[in-house]
Every structure is written in structure tokens, then in C-alpha cells.
């Protein structure tokens, strides 16, 4: 039995949830999202709670049970609160700035890295060394943050590079004389 899947998803006030077969659509104050599930799970909405159940007893249905429940939870949270990933930039001369529809990153290369901001994502730079990626789609926010981090991942000796704000870099000792 799925520990995640058996818990119902609470639908907060201000979020309108619609179930059409295996397509779940959520509409809230931040926008609208939808998710198309496989035929292995079924959804039911009653009294402001969404319950996900496996359609049969196959291994795939039991696997998709918790996944579908998590995806519905991500929809509801995304349209009501949204998601944010914070990145930190460490290094001498490393900085970031938002210029119109582009994120300009100076990461120690001979050229600036220009990252076009995708649709549905907002990027803010409160400080030149702090980048906040936010949006309503959890997967998209995480992917954009991972791509930005991938331009210069943190190195283990001095910790220079782009890292998540809550990430801990395991440091190595340098060479000895």
C-alpha cells in the first residue's frame, strides 16, 4: 500500500479543481495548471478532498498511485502558493542580473552567459549574488534552477560556483607542501 497515495489532497479555498476522466485541472489566484494521468489510477473529488486510487492491482498501478497523488498536490500548491528555488553565486567577480527577458550571468568565463527566461517563470536578483527562480509549475522551476546551476556547478576546494541556497558543499583539503 502506498504511504503517499493513501493520503487525500486537501483543496484550499480559492482553488477550483476539475476532474475530467484522467485529466486533473486546477485554477487558482496564480494561474491554471493541468495534469494528464495514466489509466492506472482513478481520481475522486468529494468535500474539498481529492482521493487517488489504483485502478487495478498491477505493479504499475501501485507505482503510479503515489506519483499521481504527488502531482495533484503539486498542482494545488502551485496555483495557490507557487514555488521558489533560491540560488547563491560564490566567487570573485561572479554576479547575476536580470535584463528584460534575459538572465545575464558572469561566472568567470571569457564571455557572459545569457539565459533566456522561459514562459511562466520569473527570476529576481535581489543581490548580484542571489537569484530567486519562481513559478507555479514545480517541475519547470526546478529544471530552470538546475540549468542555471549547471553553467558553473560549485567546486569542492573553494566553493566557487552557483549552488542552491540550502545546498551544503563538501569541501576538500588542498594539496600540501
| pLDDT tens readout for residues 65-87 | 989 999 999 999 999 999 999 99
What confidence tier does 2 reach under pLDDT thresholds 50, 70, 90?
low
**Total count of domains within the chain:** 2
Is residue 89 within 8 A of residue 129, CB to CB? The reply is yes
Q: Please provide the average confidence, as pLDDT, over all residues in the chain.
A: 90
Last residue of a domain, one of 42, 63, 80: 80
Shared-domain flag, residues 130 and 142: yes
Whether 2 is covered by a domain: the verdict is: no
Confidence of residue 4 (pLDDT cuts 50, 70, 90): confident
106 and 155 in one domain? yes
Contact yes or no for 52/61 (Cβ under 8 A): no
Cα→Cα distances 134→15, 74, 95, 126, Å: 19, 14, 19, 13
The residues near 120 (Cβ < 8 Å, ≥ 6 apart) are: 31, 135, 136, 137, 140
User: Has residue 141 been placed in a domain?
Assistant: yes
Tell me if 61 is assigned to some domain: yes
Average pLDDT over residues 146-154: 93
In a domain, 4, yes or no: no
Q: Are residues 156 and 123 in the same domain?
A: yes
Among 80, 107, 140, where does a domain finish?
Answer: 80
* 18 shares its domain with 47: yes
Kindly state whether residue 24 falls inside one of the protein's structural domains: yes
93 and 62 in a single domain? The answer is no
Range of the domain at 36: 9-80
Q: Among the three residues 29, 63, 80, which one is the final residue of a domain in this structure?
A: 80
The reply to whether 47 falls in a domain is yes
User: 96 and 155: one domain?
Assistant: yes
Amino acid at each position: 500500500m502506498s504511504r503517499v497515495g493513501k493520503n487525500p489532497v486537501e483543496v484550499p479555498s480559492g482553488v477550483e479543481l476539475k476532474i475530467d476522466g484522467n485529466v486533473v485541472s486546477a485554477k487558482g489566484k496564480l494561474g491554471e495548471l493541468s495534469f494528464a494521468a495514466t489509466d492506472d489510477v482513478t481520481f475522486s473529488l468529494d468535500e474539498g478532498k481529492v482521493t487517488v486510487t489504483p485502478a487495478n492491482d498491477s505493479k504499475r498501478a501501485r507505482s503510479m498511485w503515489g506519483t499521481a497523488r504527488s502531482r495533484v498536490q503539486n498542482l494545488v500548491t502551485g496555483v495557490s502558493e507557487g514555488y521558489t528555488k533560491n540560488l547563491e553565486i560564490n566567487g570573485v567577480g561572479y554576479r547575476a542580473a536580470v535584463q528584460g527577458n534575459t538572465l545575464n550571468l558572469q561566472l568567470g568565463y571569457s564571455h557572459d552567459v545569457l539565459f533566456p527566461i522561459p514562459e511562466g517563470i520569473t527570476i529576481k536578483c535581489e543581490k548580484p549574488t542571489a537569484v530567486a527562480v519562481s513559478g507555479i509549475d514545480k517541475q519547470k522551476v526546478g529544471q530552470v534552477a538546475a540549468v542555471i546551476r549547471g553553467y558553473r556547478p560549485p567546486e569542492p576546494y573553494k566553493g566557487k560556483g552557483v549552488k542552491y541556497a540550502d545546498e551544503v558543499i563538501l569541501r576538500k583539503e588542498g594539496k600540501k607542501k
